[in-house]
């Protein structure tokens, strides 16, 4: 089981990593060529606005002082104002986070459901024709450029067949009274299908291969042999005895997959014009909207770091043999 | 004459030794398929000038001086057709292999080199060096890779070298951790102990006794990194942060996407570059799987 000390140690590591990532980001954005004020101040801001921002971020102070002001502001969720939207970056980023999370989780849940079942089935059918055909196909899905898969699905199912809308989260002219009304509408779901399918096809390989190899390990163990000797049917053995035990590490990998997916979302969100954090980052960087780019990057990094921590903790919780040194 | 022959033989045996020490997985059919795909890919990249039918950036015209745009495959002799700006798709595809090879190899070498060095030093010396290097790896694991490449590529000049740089800065983390774990077990072996007792220096032990034993593992991670590098470059170019001067498969896809090739159903334009990327990346996967079976025979059943 997890001791308090281990959790404390992991939390300290989490804070260290977040601090390091924030510092790297500070260095990149302040040392970039051109006007050092550009990280927060757009030349089109009024003089009054500029003065307020100068004071808020200490832009007239030496760099090391700016650094501490930056960290202090971060702790309070103060990320500056977006040049383009003229609104606090923090609000904008929080607004987009649900879209990214919905896309990520819906695609991963589908990918894991499929991957776990298919992986167990392939382990059961080990050494057969199914395995020889399926494994190279699965490896190929891992080699797909995600954005290209998205383009292909878009061309086939949207432009050629017309089954699904081509991008965004809602059809033009559609208005919803609340976010919940939007997210539960069929219009939203129709927009979600293609980007989620793209990510799911790409992601199912990890749980599938993991489930298969865990199953193969477990099926060699004594209690499975015992169940076979008891005369249980082979599918019962697979599902009741082997799959249950093989499932734990796959579940743990879900957290890591969320972290990876959030990074990879950048391209798929762009292909489908999905208003999430990744697309916002791309747009902000292209438009030199530095505060927004910084905010979107930090938010993605926070999700990644939290998911890494969650995976670690789950791992040692589920398998007491792993200890945290 | 004899002398040059001798050195030739010697260098050949050196090359043979090098390949032997890599333990290329020639027994596994998929790994062999992967090696063949790699060989073909390298051959096309090297002889792109001969294979390509047109200059990939040239805007082509018909004899009547009309723009030869949006030609379908085979039409007017364009093997894979032309882009909406009248450029030859087949030639772009052929030249694209060149930048893919360049990026894939340099990034893979950088990632494998840095990762191996970190793993060797951290694993062998332990203590403070180990702590510092492994905390750095923790940080590298906390950096969202693609967003990091985007931010870096946007602030530096748009060039393929910045993609390679960003990969080198982040992706050594996996190789580093795995090599370190391997070194930890090697360090306690009897022959390392023997070398230490007989007075070999630490650096000599690390590089002559331990490094050769982790080389196949570095090579394994190197082959995976080739695929990652090509995928990353494609993503970055697709997002518009790539080198506008270089024809790459990612650039072709970005060009097709931005030119409405999807709504015009110009499959001949955006399908081939994607297939090329898949082929090269999957070849790397096949080779690395063959490797894993040699390195960790327990997995094979």
Residues 6+ apart with CB under 8 A from A242: A120, A123, A215, A218, A219, A224
Q: Give the angle A163-A175-A191 at the CA atoms, nearest 5°.
A: 25
Backbone angles phi, psi at A81, to 5 degrees: -110, 140
The pLDDT value given to residue A110: 93
Interface test with B, best of A155, A194, A270, A304 (most B CBs within 10 A): A155
One domain for residues A65 and A100: no
One domain for residues A142 and A271: yes
One domain for residues A246 and A310: yes
Q: Check whether B297 has a pLDDT greater than 60.
A: no
- The per-residue pLDDT for range A161-187, each reduced to its tens digit, is 767 777 776 666 666 666 666 676 777
Using the 3D structure, point to which of A42, A75, A108 is the last residue of a domain: A75
Task: Work out the average pLDDT over B213-219.
Answer: 82
One domain for residues A33 and A110: no
Locate A76 and state its tokens: 């309070």
Chain A CB contacts of B239 below 8 Å = 266-267, 270, 282
Backbone angles phi, psi at A67, to 5 degrees: -60, -45
Q: Check whether A160 has a pLDDT greater than 90.
A: no
Q: Supply the CATH number for residue B130's domain.
A: 1.10.3720.10
Task: Work out the average pLDDT over B139-166.
Answer: 83
Q: Which residue of A has its CA nearest to B261?
A: A155
Q: Supply the CATH number for residue A190's domain.
A: 1.10.3720.10
Higher pLDDT, A105 or B82: A105
The pLDDT value given to residue B118: 92
Q: A83 in a domain, yes or no?
A: no
Q: A19 in a domain, yes or no?
A: yes
Task: Work out the average pLDDT over A20-34.
Answer: 78
Using the 3D structure, point to which of A75, A106, A122 is the last residue of a domain: A75
Q: DSSP secondary-structure letter at A69?
A: H
Q: B66 in a domain, yes or no?
A: no
Q: B70 in a domain, yes or no?
A: no
One domain for residues A144 and A19: no
- The per-residue pLDDT for range A6-20, each reduced to its tens digit, is 778 888 888 888 898
Count other C-beta atoms under 10 Å from residue A82's C-beta.
25
Segments forming the whole domain that contains residue A42: 4-75
Chain B CB contacts of A104 below 8 Å = none
- Residue A241 · residue A224 · CB < 8 Å: yes
One domain for residues A148 and A291: yes
What pLDDT band is residue B1 in, cutting at 50, 70 and 90?
Answer: very low
- Residue A262 · residue A314 · CB < 8 Å: no
Q: A84 in a domain, yes or no?
A: no
The pLDDT value given to residue A229: 73
- The per-residue pLDDT for range A47-66, each reduced to its tens digit, is 777 777 777 666 677 777 77
Q: Check whether B161 has a pLDDT greater than 90.
A: no
For residue A10, what are the CA distances in angstroms to A4, A6, A18, A292, A323?
10, 6, 12, 30, 12
Q: A91 in a domain, yes or no?
A: no
Q: B5 in a domain, yes or no?
A: no
Query: Does B151 contact A297 at a Cβ distance shorter than 8 Å?
Result: yes
Query: Does A304 contact B142 at a Cβ distance shorter than 8 Å?
Result: yes
What pLDDT band is residue B205 in, cutting at 50, 70 and 90?
Answer: confident
For chain A, what is the mean pLDDT? 79
Q: DSSP secondary-structure letter at B83?
A: -
- Residue A296 · residue A277 · CB < 8 Å: yes
Whole-prediction pTM = 0.80
Backbone angles phi, psi at B86, to 5 degrees: 80, 35
Q: B95 in a domain, yes or no?
A: yes
One domain for residues A160 and A260: yes
**What percentage of chain B carries pLDDT values higher than 70?**
76
Locate A68 and state its tokens: 């501490």
The pLDDT value given to residue B301: 39
Chain A CB contacts of B248 below 8 Å = none
Query: Does A145 contact B267 at a Cβ distance shorter than 8 Å?
Result: no
Task: Work out the average pLDDT over A146-172.
Answer: 77
| DSSP H helical ranges for chain A | 4-30, 47-57, 63-75, 89-124, 129-143, 146-153, 179-183, 186-203, 205-219, 222-229, 234-236, 244-271, 277-286, 290-318
Chain B CB contacts of A304 below 8 Å = 142-144
Length of chain A: 325
The pLDDT value given to residue B7: 57
- Tell me which range, A128-137, A264-273, B27-36, B153-162, is most confidently predicted by mean pLDDT: A264-273
Taking CB atoms within 8 Å and a gap of at least 24, the contacts of B187-196 are B187/B123, B187/B124
Q: Check whether B11 has a pLDDT greater than 70.
A: no
One domain for residues A130 and A227: yes
Number of structural domains, chain A? 2
Task: Work out the average pLDDT over B269-295.
Answer: 81
Q: Which residue of B has its CA nearest to A286?
A: B154
Give strand pairing partners of A239.
none
Q: A324 in a domain, yes or no?
A: no
Question: Which of A136, A160, A267 is the closest to B239 by Cβ?
Answer: A267
Q: B229 in a domain, yes or no?
A: yes
One domain for residues A110 and A13: no
Q: B71 in a domain, yes or no?
A: no
User: How close, in Å, is residue B9 to chain A by CA atoms?
Assistant: 40
Query: Does A20 contact B151 at a Cβ distance shorter than 8 Å?
Result: no
What pLDDT band is residue B78 in, cutting at 50, 70 and 90?
Answer: low
- The per-residue pLDDT for range B122-132, each reduced to its tens digit, is 888 888 988 88
Q: A10 in a domain, yes or no?
A: yes
Question: Which of A17, A152, A296 is the closest to B142 by Cβ?
Answer: A17
Q: Check whether A107 has a pLDDT greater than 60.
A: yes
Q: Check whether A193 has a pLDDT greater than 80.
A: yes
Give the C-alpha separation, B101 to B43, whole Å. 10
Query: Does A155 contact B146 at a Cβ distance shorter than 8 Å?
Result: no
Q: Check whether A255 has a pLDDT greater than 80.
A: yes
Higher pLDDT, B160 or A112: A112
Q: Check whether A75 has a pLDDT greater than 50.
A: yes
Q: Check whether B277 has a pLDDT greater than 80.
A: yes
The pLDDT value given to residue B21: 62
The pLDDT value given to residue A128: 76
Query: Does A143 contact B265 at a Cβ distance shorter than 8 Å?
Result: no
**What percentage of chain B carries pLDDT values higher than 90?**
2
Using the 3D structure, point to which of A40, A75, A110 is the last residue of a domain: A75
Segments forming the whole domain that contains residue B120: 44-60+89-300
**What percentage of chain A carries pLDDT values higher than 70?**
82
Q: Check whether B43 has a pLDDT greater than 90.
A: no
For residue A223, what are the CA distances in angstroms to A238, A245, B251?
12, 11, 55
Backbone angles phi, psi at B260, to 5 degrees: 65, 30
Q: A27 in a domain, yes or no?
A: yes
Q: B255 in a domain, yes or no?
A: yes
Q: B9 in a domain, yes or no?
A: no
Q: How far is CA A236 from the centre of its chain?
A: 35
Number of structural domains, chain B? 1
One domain for residues A22 and A145: no
ipTM given for this complex? 0.81
Three-state helix/strand/coil letters over B227-292? HHHHHHHHHHHHCCCCCCCCCCHHHHHHHHHHCCCCCCCCHHHHHHHHHHHHHHHHHHHHHHHHHH
Count other C-beta atoms under 10 Å from residue A275's C-beta.
17
Q: A111 in a domain, yes or no?
A: yes
């Amino acid at each position: 089981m997890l001791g308090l000390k281990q959790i404390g140690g992991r939390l300290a590591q989490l804070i260290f990593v977040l601090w390091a990532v924030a510092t790297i980001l500070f260095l990149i954005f302040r040392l970039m060529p051109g006007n050092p004020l550009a990280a927060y101040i757009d030349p089109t801001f009024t003089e009054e606005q500029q003065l307020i921002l100068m004071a808020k971020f200490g832009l007239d102070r030496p760099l090391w002082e700016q650094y501490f002001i930056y960290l202090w502001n971060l702790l309070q969720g103060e990320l500056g104002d977006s040049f383009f939207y003229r609104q606090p970056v923090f609000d904008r980023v929080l607004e987009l986070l649900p879209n990214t999370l919905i896309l990520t989780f819906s695609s991963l849940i589908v990918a894991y459901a499929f991957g776990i079942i298919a992986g167990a089935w392939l382990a059961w059918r080990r050494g057969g024709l199914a395995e020889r055909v399926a494994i190279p196909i699965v490896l190929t899905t891992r080699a797909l450029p995600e954005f290209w898969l998205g383009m292909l699905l878009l061309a086939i199912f949207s432009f050629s067949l017309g089954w699904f809308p081509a991008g965004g989260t809602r059809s033009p002219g559609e208005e919803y009274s609340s976010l919940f009304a939007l997210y539960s509408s069929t219009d939203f779901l129709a927009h979600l299908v293609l980007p989620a399918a793209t990510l799911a096809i790409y992601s199912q390989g990890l749980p599938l291969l993991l489930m298969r190899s865990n199953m193969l390990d477990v099926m060699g163990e004594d209690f499975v042999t015992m169940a076979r000797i008891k005369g249980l049917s082979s599918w019962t053995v697979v599902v009741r005895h082997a799959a249950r035990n093989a499932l734990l590490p796959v579940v743990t990998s879900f957290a890591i997959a969320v972290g990876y997916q959030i990074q990879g979302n950048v391209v798929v969100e762009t292909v489908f014009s999905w208003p999430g954090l990744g697309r916002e980052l791309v747009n902000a960087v292209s438009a030199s909207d530095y505060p927004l780019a910084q905010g979107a990057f930090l938010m993605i990094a926070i999700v990644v770091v939290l998911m890494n921590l969650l995976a670690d903790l789950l791992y040692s919780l589920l398998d007491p043999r792993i200890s945290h040194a | 004459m004899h002398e040059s022959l001798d050195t030739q033989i010697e260098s050949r045996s050196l090359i043979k030794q090098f390949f032997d020490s890599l333990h290329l997985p020639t027994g596994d059919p998929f790994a062999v398929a992967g090696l063949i795909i790699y060989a073909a890919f390298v051959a096309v990249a090297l002889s792109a000038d001969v294979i390509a039918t047109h200059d990939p950036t040239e805007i082509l015209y018909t004899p009547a001086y009309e723009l030869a745009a949006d030609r379908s495959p085979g039409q007017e002799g364009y093997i894979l057709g032309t882009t909406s700006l009248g450029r030859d798709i087949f030639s772009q595809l052929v030249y694209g292999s060149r930048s893919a090879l360049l990026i894939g190899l340099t990034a893979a070498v950088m990632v494998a080199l840095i990762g191996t060095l970190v793993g060797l030093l951290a694993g062998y010396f332990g203590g403070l060096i180990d702590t510092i290097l492994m905390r750095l790896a923790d940080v590298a694991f906390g950096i969202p890779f693609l967003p990091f490449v985007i931010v870096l590529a946007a602030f530096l000049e748009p060039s393929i070298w910045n993609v390679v740089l960003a990969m080198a800065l982040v992706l050594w983390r996996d190789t580093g951790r795995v090599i370190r774990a391997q070194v930890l077990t090697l360090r306690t072996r009897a022959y390392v102990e023997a070398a230490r007792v007989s007075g070999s220096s630490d650096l000599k032990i690390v590089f002559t006794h331990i490094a050769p034993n982790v080389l196949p593992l570095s090579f394994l991670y190197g082959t995976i990194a080739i695929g990652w590098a090509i995928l990353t470059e494609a993503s970055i170019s697709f997002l518009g942060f790539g080198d506008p001067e270089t024809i790459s498969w990612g650039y072709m896809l970005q060009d097709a996407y931005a030119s409405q090739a999807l709504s015009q159903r110009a499959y001949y334009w955006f399908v081939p570059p994607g297939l090329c990327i898949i082929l090269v990346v999957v070849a790397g996967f096949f080779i690395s799987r063959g490797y894993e079976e040699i390195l960790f025979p327990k997995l094979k059943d």
